[in-house]
Structure 1
Amino acid sequence: MARRRSEPPRRSVWKLLGSLLLTFSAVVGVIAIVAVAVCAIFGLRPVVVISGSMEPELPVGSMVFYRTVPAKDVAVGDIVTVPRSDGAAGLITHRVKQATTKDGVTTLRLKGDANATEDPLPYVVTSVGEFVGRIPLAGTIALAARTPLGIAAVATYVAALIAVIVFGRRRPQPGSRTRGRRRAVPRAAAD
């Protein structure tokens, strides 16, 4: 009597979908933890580019990272992030065109690379955010996740993840008592 070849276990659509969602979630989670750790260790802060004033160097939707340094340490040509000088809320990330320091206070003249003229008002600062790097499109994703549609998308994703975990579990067949145990395979009798 020949041995029956064991068939590979069939994976249900729920299990496959659950596996994909869990793997994706784990990868995104690890990336998020590493990003937060790197920012904390190196003192980096993220900002999102929302205008085209620094294109092509900093495209709209990029996430820019900066670290705080004394304003006296910046040089002409550096890209810096500073509070707006017109009293409005928010930050400006532009290139330094002129820097003068007097009595520990630095006055900067800034200009966006895509702008025809310098910013109209000078920036009087003691510290600035010095540009460290950028991740294209990361800012767009971060901003989208904060909108009502983005929050609904994240909630739907979490609900789908929970559904595939719950419904993807293997259910015992009625009348089956061997769940989780191996069945003995009959051996051929030796002559």
Structure 2
Amino acid sequence: MKLMRFKVLLVSTLSIIPLLANTSEIVTSPETLEARSLVKAFGNNLKHVLKTSMKSGGPIKALEQCNMQAGPIAQEIALSSGWDIARTSLKVRNEKNSPDEWEMTTLTQFEKRKAAGENLKTMEYAETVKEGDKLVYRYMKAIPTAGLCITCHGGDISQDITKKVKSLYPNDQATGFMVGDIRGAFSLQKIIN
């Protein structure tokens, strides 16, 4: 009987989490804290690669390094943490990063929240979802478009950069961004049972 009550309570709590997460503050669970930490690590590692590459070889080298290093950086953090870690966007550069239905819904909500004036630097969303017979904690954090991003993701990109982007990402959609746009989001998930 106690087990039944716990299951009902758990299901009820899981049903409320998405509603609470739509507010400007996410309910701070251990999963949320861990996800934030992993996003910070992934973002910092990738930013370091991009800045170092830009300084040593300009945007062409940064594109090459991003292409070669983003996946391994995410994979290394994923292996050490037990989370799936990725980036996605409404306009992806790499088709492998195309959003699934949940991510698409969240990204669309991010755009609405941005239009309502919410700060992109703190914009996030978390939800526990049922996938088959498993409960999965999903988390997304918006990636604001910064000045450095415009070099390769803006509306006025040099021909050399455009040529390199097309060689690395033949089906690129990730251009036309302006500073302050939502470039995409970090997307993490972890099975919790």
Greater per-residue helix proportion? 2
Q: TM-score range by the shorter chain?
A: under 0.3
From the two aligned structures, give the one with the greater strand fraction.
1
Larger radius of gyration: 1
The normalised TM-score by structure 2 is 0.28
